């Protein structure tokens, strides 16, 4: 009897081991509804730091395939204005992720089936949805994020015969630049850094010192906000932007769909912006200092 019990115990342990091993190696999809990537973005000209957010909001059938719609925002957590960015498609059987170009053609963006030594031609939406290059896989391993062991793929690409380290890909997350900026290095002065990754507002991954997922939540106080005024509202022809201090600042205006319709560096305390050629509707005025977004106001154009 003891031998039978022992054998049954061993058999149970064996199947539990197989099950756990399978669970560890099961592919973790990247594209899920309500996935959200918060990225610290720094532009070189003008020099601005802000939070950029990418999220998946719904499935869309394109050419008979279930694609995910990627939305983008450059606004704060409480005042997000999202606009369409692009579509992506994931084949969970082949472990490949594609970006759709402007003609809805599939372009390979990630491939988690690769092994060390493989060569890939990849497509980068960061470069205006047209660029692609050859990448080389120099290492694959696993990495524990959010309690799951995810495959990690390290890649390089070559310029003039010189090997340059590209990004590490993390299964189910993307890269540490977020979903959108994988592959190529930023231009001089630029920065893209994944602050955090969420699904259904559940935090899966957070970089150390990531400002609680929103860069623009830091260093902005009420006194600084009160230094700016935007009027009249509603407005017909001229919008007036007044600063109480003689400091340079940067102005952007977005329409209701999140499209940028105006941007300009301003150096005067009293400024006039003509919006007479804008269509009637709702717009968002956003003001930045050298490092942060510090002021947002909704206006009506009639």
Beta carbons of 180 and 23 less than 8 angstroms apart? no
Supply the pLDDT for residue 9.
43
Edge-to-edge order in the sheet of strand 238-243: 228-231, 238-243, 270-274
3 state DSSP class of 21: helix
Mean pLDDT computed over every residue of the chain: 78
94 pLDDT higher than 90: yes
Give the Cα-Cα-Cα angle 58, 261, 249 (nearest 5 degrees): 110
Beta carbons of 194 and 37 less than 8 angstroms apart? yes
Assess whether 50 and 164 both reside in one domain: yes
Assess whether 79 and 188 both reside in one domain: yes
Assess whether 202 and 231 both reside in one domain: no
Confidence at 161, pLDDT banded by 50, 70, 90: confident
3 state DSSP class of 114: coil
Supply the pLDDT for residue 62.
94
CATH number of domain containing 287: 2.60.40.3080
3 state DSSP class of 86: strand
* Segments forming the whole domain that contains residue 269: 222-301
Q: Is residue 27 part of a domain?
A: no
Q: Is 223 exposed, middle or buried (0-12, 13-18, 19+ CB in 10 A)?
A: exposed
Assess whether 119 and 262 both reside in one domain: no
Which runs of E-coded beta strand occur in the chain? 35-43, 48-62, 65-73, 83-91, 96-100, 106-111, 119-124, 131-145, 148-159, 162-170, 174-175, 191-199, 202-206, 228-231, 238-243, 249-255, 260-266, 270-274, 281-288, 293-301
Q: Tens digits of per-residue pLDDT, 72-85?
A: 887 655 556 788 88
What phi, psi does 180 have (nearest 5°)?
-90, -30
Q: Is 83 exposed, middle or buried (0-12, 13-18, 19+ CB in 10 A)?
A: middle
Q: Is residue 85 part of a domain?
A: yes
Assess whether 130 and 226 both reside in one domain: no
pTM score above 0.75: no
Q: Tens digits of per-residue pLDDT, 215-248?
A: 654 444 444 556 788 888 888 899 998 887 767 7
Q: Is residue 88 part of a domain?
A: yes
Of 217, 241, 275, which residue constitutes the final position of a domain?
217
Supply the pLDDT for residue 258.
67
3 state DSSP class of 6: helix
Of 193, 217, 241, which residue constitutes the final position of a domain?
217
What is the radius of gyration, based on Cα positions, of the chain?
A: 24
3 state DSSP class of 289: coil
For the record, the structure tokens of 190 come out as: 């630029």
Rounded CA separation 299/301 (Å): 7
Query: CA separation (Å) from 118 to 159, 174, 236?
Result: 18, 19, 59
Assess whether 188 and 94 both reside in one domain: yes
Of 217, 245, 266, which residue constitutes the final position of a domain?
217
């Amino acid at each position: 009897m003891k031998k039978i019990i022992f054998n049954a115990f061993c058999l149970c342990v064996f199947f539990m081991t197989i099950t756990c091993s399978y669970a560890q190696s099961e592919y973790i999809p990247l594209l899920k509804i309500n996935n959200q990537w918060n990225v610290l973005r720094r532009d070189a000209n003008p020099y601005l730091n802000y939070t950029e957010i990418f999220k998946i909001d719904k499935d869309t059938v394109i050419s008979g395939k279930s694609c995910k719609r990627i939305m983008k925002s450059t606004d704060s957590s409480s005042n997000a204005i999202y606009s369409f960015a692009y579509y992506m498609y994931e084949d969970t059987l082949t472990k490949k992720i594609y970006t759709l170009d402007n003609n809805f053609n599939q372009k390979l963006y990630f491939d988690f089936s690769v092994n060390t030594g493989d060569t890939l031609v990849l497509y980068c939406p960061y470069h205006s949805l047209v660029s692609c290059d050859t990448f080389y896989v120099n290492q694959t391993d696993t990495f524990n994020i959010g309690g799951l062991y995810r495959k990690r793929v390290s890649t390089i690409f070559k310029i003039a015969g010189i090997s340059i380290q590209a990004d590490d890909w993390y299964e189910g997350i993307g890269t540490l630049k977020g979903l959108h900026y994988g592959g190529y290095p930023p231009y001089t002065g630029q920065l893209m850094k994944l602050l955090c990754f969420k699904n259904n507002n559940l935090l899966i991954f957070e970089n150390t010192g990531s400002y609680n997922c929103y860069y623009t939540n830091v260093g902005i106080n009420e006194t600084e906000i009160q230094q700016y005024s935007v009027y009249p509202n509603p407005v017909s022809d001229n919008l007036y932007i007044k600063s109480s201090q003689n400091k340079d600042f940067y102005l952007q205006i977005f329409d209701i769909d999140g499209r940028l319709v105006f941007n300009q560096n301003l150096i005067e305390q009293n400024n006039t912006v003509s919006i007479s050629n804008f269509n009637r509707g709702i717009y968002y005025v956003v003001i930045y200092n050298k490092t942060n977004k510090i002021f947002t106001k909704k206006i009506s154009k009639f």
